[in-house]
Each structure stands twice: as C-alpha cells, then as structure tokens.
Amino acid sequence: DNNEYKETCQKYTEILPSLPKENGWITKYVVKYQDTWLSPSVLQGVMLVQEHFIAQPTDILLASLPKSGTTWLKALIFTTINRKRFDFQTHPLLTSGPHACIPSLEALMLQNNQNSSLDLPSPRLFATHIPHHLLPVSLKSSGCRIVYVLRNPKDVFVSSWYHMKKLRLKELPPLSLEEGVDMYCKGVYHFGPYWDHVLGYWNASLESPNKVLILTYEDMKKDILTCVKSLAEFLGQPFSLEEERDGVVQEIIKLCSFDNLSNLEVNKTGVQQFTPKIAIENNVFFRKGEVGDWKNHLTDEMVERLAQISEMKFSGTTWLK
C-alpha cells in the first residue's frame, strides 16, 4: 500500500548518501548498490521493484543491459505475443514507439505510487535492466519467463557512448571516449558491471533453460528468422505451419526491422516519457543497428583491455570473446 511505498522511498533517501559514488555517464554521479552501478533516481525505482513488485507466473520479462538490443526485442516480443490481436497494416507499432509498447518495470514503479498501472492484461509484458541478483524474490520464484538479450561488450560500449553523449546533463563536461572506456572497464556502467550482468542471466539460464532464454544481438543480426521462431516457442506461442506458410514470421521481422522502425514518424520525432522526470526522444534508440562498429572507434589498446576483462570474467563459458 501507499505507506509501504513511502517507507521504501524513505529508506532510499536514507541509504543514498552512504553508497559508494563515481562520476556518471548521464547524471553527475552514479552509486553502487548491491554491486550494481545506478543513477540515483533509478536506484529508487529498483528498490521499489525489489520491495513491491509482485510477479505473476504468466508475466514475460525482457531483461537486458542498456544498448544491447532492448528496443528491437521490445518490438519483437510485443508483436509476437499480440500477432493474433493486431493487423500488420494498422499495427500499434506503426504509431507508438517500442518503449511505449512494453514498459520498463523500474520506471513504471517510479511513475506510479500504486500498483494500479501493473493491472495489465495477461500475459503482462515488462522490460527491465535490473541484474539477475537484484530481481525480487517473487519474480524468481513465480516461474515467469525471462528473455535476456546480450550484445558484444565493445559494441555495447560504443553504442552507449553515443547514447549517453546525447542524454548527458548539459552542465557536465563532455565525456571523452578514453574516460568512457575507463569507467566501463571499472564496471561503472548503468546497471553494470557489464560482465556481471551478463553472467547473472547466463547462469540463471543454465539453471532453468525453459524459464530464461538468452538471445544475442549478433545472432539476431545473422539469423533473425531462427531467433524469432525460438522466441515464440519459448514464450509458449510457437508459429503454426499455417502461420509460417502465410508469412507471419516474415511480417513480424519486417515490422520490427531497424529500417522500418527508424523511419517511422513516431520514432523520428516522438518522445517517450519514462518517468515524470525522464523523457527521451525515440530517435535516440536508433543509431546504426550494426555489428562491429567498435572497429571504427576503439584503439588496439582499448580492445585489448576489454578482451582481458572478458577473458577473465567469462573463462569457463564457451561464448563471447
């Protein structure tokens, strides 16, 4: 209830000054809360999720680090789940940005001091950047499905560097690429460290493969057809032979493609209000949409530095170098 919400907000105000701090990407500083770097207002949202979100077994959660392919997956999950509900010619994604179609859980909790906004038709679709170890217990034990999208750490960095540059508070000095790499390597990244975030969901997926699906941005770029089919199957709504024959999968892929979405008026000029304080232009979520742009930005030294961390953190896993 409202009093309990207020207690969490009070707790947030109390602990905030005691948390380790570093210079931020967008905000003046970020704080370290339970091994995770967050901007202060986001921390409040995370605490509200931790203490007040009650998951339902039918919920579907899209989890990701910022800049890993969240926008693309929001569009794909929304369209796949609702494919019998909407017609492709008049589809909501043609007039609403992907971020309006699947709300971010931590933003939603901040926006609303009541759970009423969570009163959505089943299956409820949410997105989150919260690392696995910070998810509320009710969510982990509810058995709801989690789709996690991950992306090469070098491309996530470059994508972020551009993204944060646009959103960075005007009164702060610009952030150089070198400073950005330093921060990223130290783990100071929104919801980071990058490596811990990825490993958390990776391990959860090893433990419960039918509850946590891992998709990579790179695989999606290479073979989106296979990815969308496994997504639908994982979500319990596999494509029928008839749907495949009628080209439904192709329609979904086309609708959610970078070229299509980034050229829609809503994504060129529209603005998404995430919380009462945070509004972001939709166009910021569409830049190049390619794999390997890091090659155009990072020096050999930077690449080596990142590779060493990946080597160390991901040793024992068979992927992502």
- Tell the smallest beta-carbon distance from residue 288 to ligand A3P (Å): 4
Residue of 52, 99, 129, 190 marked active site: 129
Measured CA to CA, the distance from residue 9 to residue 163 in angstroms comes to 29
Q: Which of residues 240-269 bind ligand A3P (CB under 6 A)?
A: 256-258, 261
Would you count residue 287 as binding ligand A3P (CB under 6 A)? yes
CB of 166 vs ligand A3P, minimal distance in Å: 11
| φ/ψ of residue 233, rounded to 5 | -65, -45
Could you tell me the CA-to-CA distances from 136 to 30, 54, 139, 180 in Å, in that order? 22, 8, 5, 30
216 sits near ligand A3P (criterion: CB under 6 A): no
Active site annotation includes 163: no
By the 10 Å C-beta count (0-12 exposed, 13-18 middle, 19+ buried), 177 is classed as middle
Output the smallest distance, CB 65 to ligand A3P, in A. 7
Q: Which residue number, 50 or 68, has a Cβ lying nearer to ligand A3P?
A: 68
Based on the shown chain and the rule CB under 6 A, indicate whether residue 286 belongs to the binding site for ligand A3P.
yes
In the complex with ligand A3P, the residue whose CB is nearer, 65 or 118, is: 65
Residue of 213, 218, 207 whose CA lies nearest to 229: 213
> Which of these segments, 1-9, 46-54, 116-124, 282-290, binds ligand A3P (CB under 6 A)?
282-290
CA distance linking residue 252 with residue 257, whole number of Å: 8
Binder to ligand A3P among 165, 211, 288, 305 (CB under 6 A)?
A: 288
Count of residues interacting with ligand A3P (CB under 6 A):
21
SS3 content of the chain, % helix, strand, coil (to 5): 55, 10, 35
Is residue 218 close enough to count as binding ligand A3P by CB under 6 A? Answer: no
Q: Is 316 exposed, middle or buried (0-12, 13-18, 19+ CB in 10 A)?
A: exposed
CB of 72 to ligand A3P, least distance (A): 4
Quick note: the x/- pattern for ligand A3P over 56-85, rule CB under 6 A, is: --------x-xxxxxxx-------------
Identity of the residue, 12 or 285, whose beta carbon is nearer to ligand A3P in the bound complex: 285
Residues 156, 66: Cα–Cα separation, whole Å: 8
Kindly report the number of other CB atoms within 10 A of residue 285's CB atom.
Answer: 22
Cβ atoms of 307 and 321 within 8 Å: the answer is yes
Q: How far is the CB of 156 from ligand A3P (least distance, A)?
A: 8
Report in angstroms the alpha-carbon separations of 257 from 14, 81, 84, 221, 264: 44, 17, 20, 10, 11
Sign of CA dihedral 20, 132, 68, 260: negative
Q: How far is the CB of 217 from ligand A3P (least distance, A)?
A: 7
289 forms part of the interface with ligand A3P (CB under 6 A): yes
Instruction: Output 258 or 314, the one with its CB closest to ligand A3P.
Output: 258
Please report, as residue ranges, which positions from 151 to 170 form the binding site for ligand A3P (by CB under 6 A): 155, 159, 162
CA separation for the pair 27, 167 (Å, rounded): 9
Contacting positions for ligand A3P (CB under 6 A): 64, 66-72, 155, 159, 162, 256-258, 261, 285-289, 293
Residues carrying an active site annotation: 129
